[in-house]
Structure 1
Amino acid sequence: MVITRIAGDDVLADCRQLLGLPTNQQFPEDGPLLAGLLRRSAGIHCPCSRATLSASLLECLQYLTENDDLLSDRIDAVIEGLIVGGDLLELNDVVIDDVEVRGTWVFAAPPSFVVRPSGGIFLFGTVPDQDTFLPLSLSSRIAYDGFTRMIAPQPDEDLIIELREQGLQQLSEDAWLKSPKNEVAADVLRRFEHRLSTQSLAGTISNLEILDPVHPVTYYRGRWTIPKDQNGTYVARRPQEFGAPIWCFVVLENGEPVRLLDLPLGGTRWRGCDAAWHLQMAIDSCRHNPQRYRCHAERDGIRFDFFSPLPQWSQRRLMIFGKAVDPKNCLISYRLPSAEAQTEEQFLQERLWLLRLED
């Protein structure tokens, strides 16, 4: 018996082939590969925590890639992208009757699709123990871009009917892009402050972090701080024994929590982080220091750069009308077709109360 040594790059190349991805010799463990491997892992492990999903892929890649101190962060970013894109569902997106499942767990979404305005079809979802949910005649046509998957109809082809016959669920654009009702920022803040005022007194909360609006809106990480002598209401995170920190809205007096409201509120489909980021946008707007975005024309569209996280429902709009691109001196970036840019910019200003940086 002959034992042959296989290089890590060869294993990754085989993984790309099995996942239907094109060769990338310069950067074999790129976004599409990480997304495909995470979908595969989700089909095996879900429901599970985000940490379990991340650890499962880190363990698989530990001897296949060069030392990459950022690999864990990249995997976490792809998991977030798969949640935004619909491949994974967090507990707030589903209804489950199991008290043992904690709120930080994720589930593999069923195979589904949405028809984009261009006529292309946005695919999402996973299946257990399989790399794809489509036959080779269709899976070979899938275009991979970061963590998203698209398939374009051919002339004289009814691709929608064919996908339905393969068992995929079609979601309408309205259902896919559902967002909170349109409100002015002051009303949103007033509503949360009223709910907060009805909460019982808070006890001691160790390791509480707050988003302090006095810090620049263009540096999200720098806005997180430990309370000292602050007074007023703040978006915050508090640790829990198991799982990710819990998002909340808190009243502080001399840096000490007085009342606390966990996010998201009951009866909502949004995640805690989505509710918190939207609320922080309202707070910044009411302080006359709205969060900023930057946009400029490129050869193939209009690039939008964001300096703070966006709620899931707003990122989906940017994803379905445009595409995610690598951020440059910002946190998140999307490129939109010129024909869609004006409408989406209006959405950002009216629904998220953002202000263009050049303004």
Structure 2
Amino acid sequence: MLGAVRPLGGDELQRDDVAEILEQLVASGDLLELRHEGGRSTRLLYLAPPSFIERFPGTYMVMGVRPFGAHLIGDELARAIEYEGHTRVLKTDPVEADSELRARGLQRVAKDRWVARPSSETPADLIGRHQARLDVATTAGELDGLQLLDPASKVRYYRGRWRTPAQTDTGDYVARRPQAYGADLWCLVRLEAGAPTRLMEFPVADPVVPGRDEAWRYQAAVDALRGTAQQFRIRRGNQPSDDPTLDFFSPLPGFAERYVQFTGLALGKTPGALFSFRLPAAALADTTNFLTDMLWMTDQEDSSGD
């Protein structure tokens, strides 16, 4: 596994980085994460079919994985692919692009399908829906290895927000719990004096999406309602003509990452941020409005440049 993903993580890839890289590949459409109908809360990863989506005429995102290590595009057209982190962008003649890509076995994905999103709602409404479900959820019982996302912690240091429950914890928390096989399960847990009383697993609204996507949006609502909304930083560069860069300090749910990824260029990790995207200047206003509307985020200007 480490050898397979090392090109995306550099020579110093550690095992702790694998989960993060896999999440990026799911968000970019190279892998599919689907629920396994076997009576257990199990989700499996599958290779996504070779596909493409038109960002604008002449520029296409290509995604998917062919089995047995075969190249997605294996002929001279591959030279036109630009690689940036976990994304691949193909620039080619817009007149011939559709037929050329279909001839190579790639299927076209409609833009509306790629950037589909949940309904817009207020943080209070989203939290209220989940609390109502948790009120009638199963009794939690003893949960070994439980990790909470602390709502009182700093929103600009995501990794530092996770901790074990304390006796002073009472309320509803986004949490992860280990399972015998596979990645940790995402859930919403109700605690009383540090003891779990009720448990509801994510996803709740859409069984197709990864549980973390709904958990991250729920936490964004909690942070916004507490008056400490999650933030993104806008860096406009040294010249007025420079494309702005958006720095993020918390993970984005898949639908939001796809929206930003569709327009922008993924830059991976940058100093002081979890990840970043460079956007065309013309797309900044729409992207800012999207993040504010769907995740209740606030922006911070930084004109110091790259």
| 2:271 corresponds to | 328
| 2:281 corresponds to | 338
Which deviates more from structure 2 when the two are superposed, residues 168-177 or residues 294-303? 294-303
Report the Cα offset of residue 194 of structure 1: 0.4
Aligned equivalents of 2:188 and 2:116: distance in 1? 24
Report the Cα offset of residue 100 of structure 1: 8.9
1:161-176 equivalences under 5 Å are 161-176=99-114
1:80 equivalent among 18, 23, 26: 23
1:208-247 equivalences under 5 Å are 208-228=146-166, 229-247=168-186
Identity over aligned residues, as a percent?
37
Q: Structure 1 residues 123, 222: CA separation in 2 closer, same or farther (over 3 Å shift)? A: same
CA deviation profile, 1:241-277 (whole Å, cap 9, x unmatched): 1111111001111111111101112643211111100
Q: If the length of structure 2 is used for normalisation, what is the TM-score?
A: 0.89
Q: Structure 1 residues 112, 188: CA separation in 2 closer, same or farther (over 3 Å shift)? A: same
Report the Cα offset of residue 134 of structure 1: 2.8
1:259 equivalent among 178, 198, 211: 198
Report the Cα offset of residue 238 of structure 1: 1.2
Mapped pair 1:315 → 2:257 = yes
| 2:210 corresponds to | 271
Aligned equivalents of 1:187 and 1:117: distance in 2? 36
Mapped pair 1:158 → 2:91 = no
Work out whether residues 264 and 279 of structure 2, in 8 Å CA contact, stay in contact via their aligned partners in 1: yes
1:175-194 equivalences under 5 Å are 175-194=113-132
CA deviation profile, 1:25-67 (whole Å, cap 9, x unmatched): xxxxxxxxxxxxxxxxxxxxxxxxxxxxx34538x99xxx97x
Q: State the AA in 1 paired with 2:124.
A: A
Work out whether residues 248 and 260 of structure 1, in 8 Å CA contact, stay in contact via their aligned partners in 2: yes
| 1:356 corresponds to | 299
| 1:51 corresponds to | none
| 1:7 corresponds to | none
Q: Structure 1 residues 164, 102: CA separation in 2 closer, same or farther (over 3 Å shift)? A: farther
Aligned equivalents of 1:335 and 1:103: distance in 2? 35
| 2:226 corresponds to | 287
Mapped pair 1:126 → 2:65 = yes
Report the 3-state secondary structure (helix = DSSP H, G, I; strand = E; otherwise coil) of the residue aligned with 2:234.
strand
Q: State the AA in 2 paired with 1:113.
A: F
Q: State the AA in 2 paired with 1:128.
A: P
Q: State the AA in 1 paired with 2:274.
A: L
Q: State the AA in 2 paired with 1:193.
A: Q
Report the Cα offset of residue 140 of structure 1: 2.4
CA deviation profile, 1:269-301 (whole Å, cap 9, x unmatched): 211111100000011111121111111202531
Q: Structure 1 residues 220, 100: CA separation in 2 closer, same or farther (over 3 Å shift)? A: same
Q: Which runs of 5+ in 2 are unaligned?
A: none
Work out whether residues 117 and 321 of structure 1, in 8 Å CA contact, stay in contact via their aligned partners in 2: no
Report the Cα offset of residue 86 of structure 1: 0.4
Q: Structure 1 residues 225, 130: CA separation in 2 closer, same or farther (over 3 Å shift)? A: closer
Work out whether residues 58 and 97 of structure 2, in 8 Å CA contact, stay in contact via their aligned partners in 1: no
Work out whether residues 245 and 277 of structure 2, in 8 Å CA contact, stay in contact via their aligned partners in 1: yes
Q: Structure 1 residues 342, 158: CA separation in 2 closer, same or farther (over 3 Å shift)? A: same
Q: State the AA in 2 paired with 1:142.
A: I
CA RMSD of aligned residues (A): 2.4
Give the paired residue count: 295
Report the 3-state secondary structure (helix = DSSP H, G, I; strand = E; otherwise coil) of the residue aligned with 2:156.
coil
Report the Cα offset of residue 327 of structure 1: 1.7
| 2:4 corresponds to | 57
Report the Cα offset of residue 136 of structure 1: 1.0
Q: Structure 1 residues 162, 358: CA separation in 2 closer, same or farther (over 3 Å shift)? A: closer
Select the structure of larger CA radius of gyration. 1
Report the 3-state secondary structure (helix = DSSP H, G, I; strand = E; otherwise coil) of the residue aligned with 2:152.
coil
Report the Cα offset of residue 319 of structure 1: 1.1
Mapped pair 1:306 → 2:248 = yes
Q: Which structure is higher in strand share?
A: 2
2:136 equivalent among 198, 204, 207: 198
Q: Which runs of 5+ in 1 are unaligned?
A: 1-53
Report the Cα offset of residue 202 of structure 1: 1.7
| 2:79 corresponds to | 140
Q: If the length of structure 1 is used for normalisation, what is the TM-score?
A: 0.76
Report the Cα offset of residue 357 of structure 1: 3.3
Q: State the AA in 2 paired with 1:289.
A: T
